[in-house]
Chain A
Amino acid sequence: MSALKALLIRDMKLAFRVGGGALIGALFFLIVVVLTPFAIGPDLALLSRIGPAILWLGALLASLLTLDRLFAADYEDGSLDLIMTGRAQLELAILTKALAHWLTTGLPLVIIAPLLGLLLNIDLAAMKYVALTLLAGTPALTFIGLIGAALSVTLRRGGLLLAVLVLPLTIPVLIFGVAAANSAIIGPVPFGPPFTILCGLSLASLVIGPLAAAAALRHGLE
């Protein structure tokens, strides 16, 4: 347990210090949201209608941005070998790394999302629900992304391949995330069902992601 705690603290320190990508994801998210009105025009009614979709797409792309370094950086400096030969179960170690990744890239997105909602003319009462869907859904993005990160760890063009492998798998999360956010704002579906399914997707990927990533690392590095 203490090994996992040390791993969590180490990964979070690395993400926040020089060379880490923690807040770059949030900055990227901000830029994507700011660029959208330039592309579609400053029509406030249109922006508020597609606002949740823009926030979700931005969150999806921003969480991909730092995933390719999740295992690759550890692989290059050799600490991945230490983690794999260490006493902690590899699946749990990967889960810990994923948690650190979410705390440093997913959670900042959820925190700044309400501010970006103001730019997109989403009213504050509705923004609460949009932020809630991001809070429930971004862990799934990290856990699904884990699989791609583990598969592409030894490749030179890993980041590019990662996006190709992971994005199709995130379609259900995107569908239910945007649907839950929209249902809170415009209806007609109640907020409950899509949001519950979104939580279910997060929980399922919590199990599948670390298992598949551990299998990929074991097979890929031997």
Chain B
Amino acid sequence: MSFIDLANPTRFLALVQRLLPWLAAATVLAFAAGLAMAFNAPDDYQQGATVKIMFLHVPAAWLSMFGWALMSMAALGTLVWRHPLADVAAKAAAPIGAAFTLMCLVTGSLWGRPMWGAFWVWDARLTSVLVLFLMYLGLMALYWTTEDPARASRAAAILTLVGAINLPVIKFSVDWWNTLHQPASVIRLGAPAIHPAILTPLLVMALAFALLFLTLHLAAMRNEILRRRVRTLQLMKADNA
């Protein structure tokens, strides 16, 4: 089955229907393994048990960026090739990416309270992730305010690509702003390299998060295709009435 065949939503739905149970099972297994390893990982000599927040925080941060990258590729698919599934993929990824970004912010904030003494500091990284979250919300707002799904997806695709150009610029500006305003007063992970005892659970958790993203994304794409079919049927019925 090639990429072109998947352009047919019915074939895509059939494939998703077959894949989803396996993916869901793999996600549960990966989480079971990852969480068990995370519980058994040694505490940090400075940060104590709070270092375990990292096992949720870092994978969430990776996937928050992965979400936007995925949407940018889908946006190219929408604008250049008019691939019928690309806009479905982009629309389904937005809330999931926003959720992972929010999770990254919340876990970071909970981690920051014992480490930095405040729930929020205007650290360069925190600020960049917050801006990413705002951009996800703006994109979702664009979807909410436009009724016609085809038109909404093309507008969102342009915004996604503009965001993909701008996000590195924003990241650079925030880094610059941060070094200007705030000298490094923040305690950071001191070690230059992460010890394997912590790195292995982290990678397993990252795999679990990636599987969760994939599962949720495919399920959301299926729901979106079905939602559009329902909408089309309703419009046809309204036309005939």
Residues of A within 8 A of B (CB): 147, 151-152, 154-155, 157, 161, 164-165, 168-169, 171-172, 175-176, 179, 189, 201, 204, 208, 212, 215-216, 219-220
Q: Mark B136-160, 1 if CB is under 8 A from A, else 0.
A: 0110011001100001001100110
CB pair A208–B142 under 8 Å, yes or no, is no
CB pair B155–A220 under 8 Å, yes or no, is yes
Residues of B within 8 A of A164 (CB): 137-138, 141
Could you tell me the distance between the alpha carbons of A148 and B169 in the complex, rounded to whole angstroms?
18
Could you tell me the distance between the alpha carbons of A122 and B55 in the complex, rounded to whole angstroms?
49
| B162-221 CB contacts (< 8 Å) to partner A | 162-163, 165-166, 169-170, 172-174, 176-177, 180
Within 8 Å by CB of A172, from B79, B134, B145, B169, lies B169
Residue B135, interface by CB 8 Å: yes
CB pair A151–B138 under 8 Å, yes or no, is no
Residues of A within 8 A of B141 (CB): 161, 164-165
CB pair B180–A208 under 8 Å, yes or no, is no
Within 8 Å by CB of B173, from A154, A175, A215, lies A175
CB pair A168–B135 under 8 Å, yes or no, is yes
Could you tell me the distance between the alpha carbons of A208 and B163 in the complex, rounded to whole angstroms?
11
Residues of B within 8 A of A216 (CB): 155, 158
CB pair B154–A165 under 8 Å, yes or no, is no
Residue B131, interface by CB 8 Å: yes
Known interface pairs A155-B145, A172-B169, A215-B79; A165-B131 also in contact (CB < 8 Å): no
Residues of B within 8 A of A (CB): 79, 131, 134-135, 137-138, 141-142, 145-146, 151, 154-155, 158-159, 161-163, 165-166, 169-170, 172-174, 176-177, 180
Residues of B within 8 A of A161 (CB): 141-142, 145
17 more A-B residue pairs beyond the given contacts A151-B159, A168-B134, with a C-beta to C-beta distance below 8 A:
A151-B142, A152-B145, A154-B151, A161-B142, A164-B138, A165-B141, A168-B135, A171-B131, A171-B170, A171-B173, A171-B174, A172-B172, A179-B176, A179-B177, A216-B155, A219-B151, A219-B155
CB pair B162–A212 under 8 Å, yes or no, is yes
Residues of A within 8 A of B176 (CB): 175-176, 179
Interface SS of chain A: helix
Known interface pairs A168-B131, A179-B180, A219-B79; A151-B158 also in contact (CB < 8 Å): yes
CB pair A219–B174 under 8 Å, yes or no, is no
CB pair A189–B180 under 8 Å, yes or no, is yes
Residues of B within 8 A of A169 (CB): 162-163, 166, 170
For this complex, 25 residue pairs linking A to B, each with C-beta atoms less than 8 Å apart, are A147-B159, A147-B162, A151-B155, A151-B159, A155-B146, A161-B141, A165-B138, A165-B142, A168-B134, A169-B162, A169-B163, A169-B166, A169-B170, A172-B166, A175-B177, A176-B176, A179-B177, A189-B180, A201-B169, A208-B162, A215-B158, A216-B155, A216-B158, A219-B154, A219-B155
Residues of A within 8 A of B169 (CB): 172, 201, 204
Q: 10 nearest interchain CB pairs? A: A172-B173, A219-B154, A175-B177, A175-B173, A168-B134, A164-B138, A165-B138, A151-B155, A216-B158, A168-B135
Residues of A within 8 A of B177 (CB): 175, 179
Could you tell me the distance between the alpha carbons of A212 and B131 in the complex, rounded to whole angstroms?
21
Chain A: CB-nearest residue to B137: A164
Residues of A within 8 A of B138 (CB): 164-165, 168
Could you tell me the distance between the alpha carbons of A165 and B138 in the complex, rounded to whole angstroms?
5
Residues of B within 8 A of A152 (CB): 142, 145
Most A CB within 10 A of own CB, among B131, B142, B173 = B173
Residues of B within 8 A of A179 (CB): 176-177, 180
